[in-house]
Amino acid sequence: MFDLFRSRERTVRYLLGALLLLVAASMVITLVPGYGTGWAGGSDPTILAEVGDHRITVQDVRKIIQREVKGNIPEGMASVYVPSVVQQLVAFRATALLAEQMGFRVTDEELARIVRELYPQLWPGGTFAGKEAYSQYLASQNMTIPEFEETLRSQILQARLDTLALEGTVVTPQEVEAEFRRRNEAIKVQTVGVNPAIVRSRVTVNDAELAAFFEKNKSSYRVPEKRSLLIFALDEAQVGATVQVPEAQLREAYAQQQDRFRTPERVRARHILIKTLDRPESEIPVLQKKAEDLLKELKAGGDFAELAKKNSEDPGSASKGGDLDWITRGQTVPEFEQAAFTLKPRELSGVIKTQYGFHIIQVLEHETARLRPFEEVRAELAAEAKRAQVYDKMQRVADEIRAALVRSRDEAEKIARENGVTVVRAENVGPGDPVQEIGVNQQFNSAVQGLPVNGVTPVVQVSPSKLAVAQVIEIRPARQAELKEVLADVRNSYVIEKSTELARKIGAEMEARAKAGVKDPAQLAKEFGLEVKTSDFVTRIMSVEGVGPAGVLEEAFQAEPGTSVGPIRAMGGVFFAKVLEKRPADMTQLAAQRAGILQELKGQRARERSELMRAGIVEELTRKKKIKIYEQNIQRLVSAYSS
């Protein structure tokens, strides 16, 4: 939240700069030789690589492949995909290792805050759902708590290195101006072209052709296997309605967990920032005057939130009226912290100068360090204890229902009624179909597929707050479809095929005419019975009707008015364009867009530097034997997926 004005260690910046120079040199001279070749051995066949003390295992790679492509690598791609995943994991861990060596740390408090931002559903009503719910939610994503938190810490460390790379990036005023001109110059064009959508209306269809097309492609049209299911759905809210937590248990939990409820001194503050970062020295007095004028307006009764929205240049808080929420010591740069923790509630600061610019700060609340009393946290403790008991009960009842269902459907339904569990019958469910009480859930679908009639699924977690067990009641096997069942699909496929053939034929004829010197859209439209269209003025980031993103017309942006260009490949077809008018960028708007363009260019450069840096880190740590790659083990895994 406070990345805009957090303090940065100058020494770390120097280290990073030196590292980037080293990386650049190694990349240019060696092109990272040996990356991915490493050591051939490794006595443990489950270990694919080592980065410092961290081991990258077969299980790590399998989990990623399962999450990203459901475990199904396209045929023939295993030899590319598996080593690529290993290399990405190596680079990821190597960068995190370097960040730690440079002194970066991620505290438990920071980690908890980011987890909450990522998964707010684990804090229903502002209360943590408990470790069990946290674990179950991550399990649904094929991860354990330690795996997830270790990965998240590494991601945070990498983000900090990326931020330093951004701070060290230089973009000249000339480059910003050139990018502004490129983005804002506009052209008006006349276009003509052909693709399947344009000629679709020319395709005629009769019953005989459809029947023949269906017979030719009959194997493509099948009615998939359908299953009817008896589903027992256990919902947290329904089960939780019967659970009560004794007062004594809550007080015991409070006594054992008091450290959780200690809060450091903190202030809730808001601010208005007038940035000086990356601004010329000549502008500083003007910016300071703007801040001082805003302070006068506030002291005269101006609305802080409205003035912040209109004037603050802190992208993280301006839209929220400058609100920074709660701040503890050490989270902001020293000048900001000194002012914020000195002010009384509702008191305005003067104009505070930091490395980021001029701030006007107002503290809304100030809390001293304290232990929150039992009554204040009672509801939180009760919710946690209740939730833990609810999950225990849900799992116990689900296991009882499943065990009973294997023996007797009537017995299972009796247990469900006694515990308020919903029972529904879902008819003719096909692969990927939404299911009553479940929705679309891959884990549930996988559990159902392959079961025989009367087969029972394991207990499946279908959402963070719901478990389900199902029994297969009936199976209708997959079969060849009849034409009348898939007539709409057959008609659509036939029209697509024919319109694609027709568009390809007309496109080839248009290209032949272009080679003969005819590129004018109006003439081509007349010859081929197509519609010529005239656009409004468009920039590269806008769209041209019928053509798509104007960026595909780069040749037209480079041409002079009156020039015809093409062929242009776009929207699955062939197009030609004639430049009617050109309008240069309005340079009076450069000042308003300068900061945004500067940040985007810096971000692009920073990403390039970060990629270069990661490659160099891997090269350097490999040279120092801090990274070991076990190629034989990787090839075994490739073979396993290939077979």
CB 234 within 8 A of CB 395: no
Give the chain's radius of gyration (CA, Å). Answer: 32
Please give the pLDDT value at position 6.
Answer: 34
Sorted by where each starts, the structural domains of the chain and their CATH numbers stand as 10-171+597-642 (1.10.4030), 186-221+486-583 (3.10.50), 223-245+378-480 (3.10.50), 265-368 (3.10.50.40)
**Structure confidence by residue, pLDDT tens digits, 414-465:** 999 888 888 999 999 888 888 888 888 888 888 888 899 999 999 998 888 8
Q: How are beta strands 460-463 and 466-476 bridged, if at all?
A: antiparallel
| pLDDT tens digits along 362-416 | 999 998 888 888 888 888 877 777 766 777 788 888 999 999 999 999 999 999 9
User: Residue type for 50, please?
Assistant: E
C-beta separation of 282 from 409 below 8 A = no
Q: Which residues contact 74 (CB under 8 A, 6 or more apart)?
A: 81
User: pLDDT confidence of 15, banded at 50, 70, 90?
Assistant: very low
Contact call for residues 52 and 607 (beta carbons, < 8 A): no
Structure tokens at 606: 């920073």
pTM reported for the whole predicted model: 0.48
Please state, in angstroms and rounded to a whole number, the distance separating the CA atoms of residues 159 and 95.
10
Task: Count Cβ atoms below 10 Å from residue 453 Cβ, excluding itself.
Answer: 11
Supply the DSSP string of 122-186, one letter for each residue: GSGGGS---HHHHHHHHHTTT--HHHHHHHHHHHHHHHHHHHHHHHT----HHHHHHHHHHHH-E
Residue 192: name the closest of 576, 579, 578, 580 by CA.
Answer: 576
In the predicted structure, residue 7 carries a pLDDT above the cut 50: no
What residues contact 561, with CB distance under 8 A and at least 6 apart? 579, 580, 581, 582
pLDDT tens for each residue of 142-185:
778 888 888 888 788 777 776 766 666 678 889 889 999 999 99
pLDDT digits (tens, 9 = 90+) for 28-56: 323 333 333 444 445 678 888 888 888 88
pLDDT in tens, 627-642: 888 888 888 888 887 7
- Identify the pLDDT of residue 4: 32
- Give the whole-angstrom CA distance, residue 66 versus residue 59: 10
Q: What is the pLDDT of residue 70?
A: 63
Cα–Cα distance between 135 and 144 in angstroms, integer?
A: 6
In the sheet that holds 357-367, the strands lie side by side as: 323-328, 266-275, 357-367, 348-354
The answer to whether the CB of 562 falls within 8 A of the CB of 192 is: no
CA distances, 46 to each of 42, 61, 90, 234 (Å): 9, 10, 15, 38
Q: What is the pLDDT of residue 247?
A: 80
Which is more confidently placed, 377 or 212? 212
Q: Of 594, 558, 591, 601, nearest to 577 (Cα)?
A: 558
Q: What is the mean pLDDT of the chain?
A: 83
Torsions phi, psi for 326 (to 5 deg): -85, 140
**What type of residue is 210?**
L
